[in-house]
Structure 1
Amino acid sequence: MNKSLSRSEMLISLGFLFMLVCAVGAFFFGVEVGKNRTTTQLEASKESTDKKPAAGTLQQQDLVSFYHTVFMPYREFQTQWIEVVENANTRQTTDLPTELKRLASLSQKTFNEISAVSMPVSTVLDQSQQQLLKSISSFQTVSKRLANSKEDISVTQILAAMRKDQDYKLAVSKSLQGQQSYYNGMVQWARTIKPDLAQVKDMPSTMKTSIWKSLPLIVKNKLSADLITASGSVVNYYPQDLTSRIDEFISSGQADKLKYDLVGPISELLIDTKAVRSGDFKSSMVSQYAKQLLPQLPFFLTDES
């Protein structure tokens, strides 16, 4: 029998061997490509990790988390404190010691809630949290002390003793400082987006209205927090409410009419005459501040947002 291969059979065999060699080569080439891609992805992942924000840098989610877990619980307590004091001042409260006992209990609850929150270390938010906790602790101390006042002491006398109380003064001071730190955190966040943002560390006593008008809103709000701190009283409105009233006072021509060319005296006038109210900012937000850079916090959002 003739076992030699025909020409066509040989071509088929050679073709099969060629395809086999190509298949094996393609396999090993694919393995090498996959290895290289995996290495590239790992290096990219490492590079991405290395480029994470440095410790102490604030992200928007940090500001939002702080708002819901620290700042607003504190503000809710502060609002009730202000309401009790105002009612006592207007003689709407006849049993102030009982109200102070309730506030002492509420302060403990609020303290426990806020102290359980973990904030990014070495940031102004961490600093703000500690300041607000000290404020609550001091409010609790003074409320407990005055709640045990003698029965023959009048509401007026209790209020007078409160204003002189060192723990009360510390509570107010730490409250205002805590707010300042939070608004400073907003400015720090804004600088991660706009590095060339105006640098104004603290509210200068000599700041002219012409300079104020040129500042971005988020910087003005921090300076308004400084102005509220300088007033030395806890209030039921926010720094942005004061900002909007200062802006309105200047833009309406009132500042020129009264020859006020410094922001400080304008702020004092508005605060002392109780011309600032909670909600002033939102009423003018759409018309005056629509294009301003702000973090997505509830008190900066319109009803349509």
Structure 2
Amino acid sequence: MEKRLPRSAMIFSLGFVFMLVCAVGAFFYGVKLGTSKTETKYEIKELQAAAVQKSSPYQQQDLVSFYHTVFLSYREFQSEWDDAMDDFAKGQGGSASSTLKNLAELARSKRTAASNFDMQKSPLLGDAQTNYIRSLEQFEQAAKAAAASSKSGDAAKLQNSIKQLGSYQSAVKQALAAQQAYYTAMMKWGATVEPNIPANYTMPKVIEINKWSSLPLIVKNKLMADQMASRQQFTAYYPQDLTSRIDDFIASGQPAKLNLKTVSAIADLLIDTEAVRSGDFTENRSKLYNKDLLPQLPFFS
């Protein structure tokens, strides 16, 4: 005779099977819910990061646009100006009056070119544009004033007399202020890309070598733009050239031999001995800065 399970045993078995099904269902639901939450959090973080970059007034395309529309025009003028001043210093200026008139006209045309683009949506780039335009205006005035007086003096003394002009001194000051603003904008852009880059950083009065070495490259460049402005260093080389010479100097072990303990002391030595050249950064980049973040600008290539 076939034995039947007691009613209570059957109910228990059905209850167990039901609980097992519920447990398995709950497990897979939990996995799905957890995965969904993780994906949602990831998507939110991506959206937030994208929103920060979109809302930031300092995007890479703005830095590149500024380079080609404003900065490059200015540097083209500066190159012509520097060449003329070097010729004057060597007494090889030819017709100084004619050269200075041409420089005044070049400053005017480059000022017009730099004014044809609106960079004001990015406050620091807007400031840099305004200062470069004003600098070119002052260079134009300085060149005109020097041209008027160049007939009575020799070319060898002309360079020094130009440096005494208020318009020239104002032109240099505004150019260096523009450079500061541009490099600060680069740092602010970097802060939107990498979390270890600060959006704001002011160089303290004293910065020791160990502290300097721990800073991101884009911050170092900004600080050297500050240093060049404070020293009124109107040069053919860029802030990154000074940065790379300092880093190369530190890597060589020279600071310990010369008992130099601060970056300002090293910068003073390199600037005073004219040890910095345009192109130093490009020469040292592969050796010193393989992994450092920089905007994709031609003078970093």
Query: Where on the TM-score scale, by shorter chain, does this alignment land: which range?
Result: 0.7 to 0.9
What SS does the aligned partner of 1:70 have?
Answer: helix
What SS does the aligned partner of 2:152 have?
Answer: coil
Question: For residue 191 of structure 1, what is the aligned residue in structure 2?
Answer: 191
Q: RMSD of aligned C-alpha atoms?
A: 2.0
Question: For residue 289 of structure 2, what is the aligned residue in structure 1?
Answer: 289
**Amino acid across the alignment from 1:65:** S
Structure 2: gaps of 5 or more residues = 1-46
Question: For residue 61 of structure 2, what is the aligned residue in structure 1?
Answer: 61
What SS does the aligned partner of 1:139 have?
Answer: helix
Using the TM superposition, give the Cα deviation of residue 51 of structure 1 relative to its aligned residue in structure 2, in angstroms: 4.1
User: What are the superposed Cα offsets for residues 194-228 of structure 1, whole Å, 9 maximum, x if unpaired?
Assistant: 23424663332311111111101000011111121
Answering whether residue 248 of structure 2 is matched by residue 238 of structure 1, we say: no
Q: Is the 1:142–1:162 Cα contact (8 Å) retained in structure 2?
A: yes
**Amino acid across the alignment from 1:144:** K
Using the TM superposition, give the Cα deviation of residue 87 of structure 1 relative to its aligned residue in structure 2, in angstroms: 1.5
Q: Where do 1:135-174 residues align within 5 Å?
A: 135-149=135-149, 151-174=151-174
**Amino acid across the alignment from 1:241:** D
Answering whether residue 282 of structure 2 is matched by residue 249 of structure 1, we say: no
User: What are the superposed Cα offsets for residues 44-98 of structure 1, whole Å, 9 maximum, x if unpaired?
Assistant: xxx99x9475766211100011111111110111111111111111222243222
**Amino acid across the alignment from 1:297:** L
Report the TM-score, using the length of structure 1 for normalisation. 0.78
Using the TM superposition, give the Cα deviation of residue 159 of structure 1 relative to its aligned residue in structure 2, in angstroms: 2.5
User: What are the superposed Cα offsets for residues 172-208 of structure 1, whole Å, 9 maximum, x if unpaired?
Assistant: 0001111111000000000111234246633323111
Report the TM-score, using the length of structure 2 for normalisation. 0.79
Question: For residue 123 of structure 1, what is the aligned residue in structure 2?
Answer: 123
Question: For residue 107 of structure 1, what is the aligned residue in structure 2?
Answer: 107
Q: 1:106 to 1:150 in 2, by over 3 A?
A: closer
Farther-moved stretch of structure 1 (174-183 vs 143-152): 143-152
Identity %: 41
Q: Is the 2:88–2:158 Cα contact (8 Å) retained in structure 1?
A: no
**Amino acid across the alignment from 2:172:** V
In 1, Cα distance between equivalents of 2:122 and 2:183: 16
Q: Is the 1:56–1:123 Cα contact (8 Å) retained in structure 2?
A: no
In 2, Cα distance between equivalents of 1:210 and 1:52: 32
Q: Where do 1:1-305 residues align within 5 Å?
A: 51=51, 57-149=57-149, 151-198=151-198, 201-301=201-301
**Amino acid across the alignment from 1:208:** E
Q: 1:150 to 1:128 in 2, by over 3 A?
A: closer
Q: 1:52 to 1:282 in 2, by over 3 A?
A: closer
In 2, Cα distance between equivalents of 1:193 and 1:52: 9
In 2, Cα distance between equivalents of 1:109 and 1:247: 38
Using the TM superposition, give the Cα deviation of residue 150 of structure 1 relative to its aligned residue in structure 2, in angstroms: 5.5
Q: 1:109 to 1:95 in 2, by over 3 A?
A: same
Using the TM superposition, give the Cα deviation of residue 268 of structure 1 relative to its aligned residue in structure 2, in angstroms: 1.4
Q: Is the 1:231–1:268 Cα contact (8 Å) retained in structure 2?
A: no
Using the TM superposition, give the Cα deviation of residue 294 of structure 1 relative to its aligned residue in structure 2, in angstroms: 0.6
Q: Is the 1:56–1:120 Cα contact (8 Å) retained in structure 2?
A: no
Question: For residue 27 of structure 2, what is the aligned residue in structure 1?
Answer: none
Q: Is the 1:70–1:129 Cα contact (8 Å) retained in structure 2?
A: yes
User: What are the superposed Cα offsets for residues 10-49 of structure 1, whole Å, 9 maximum, x if unpaired?
Assistant: xxxxxxxxxxxxxxxxxxxxxxxxxxxxxxxxxxxxx99x
Structure 1: gaps of 5 or more residues = 1-46
Size of the aligned set, in residue pairs, is 254
What SS does the aligned partner of 1:276 have?
Answer: coil
Using the TM superposition, give the Cα deviation of residue 299 of structure 1 relative to its aligned residue in structure 2, in angstroms: 1.5
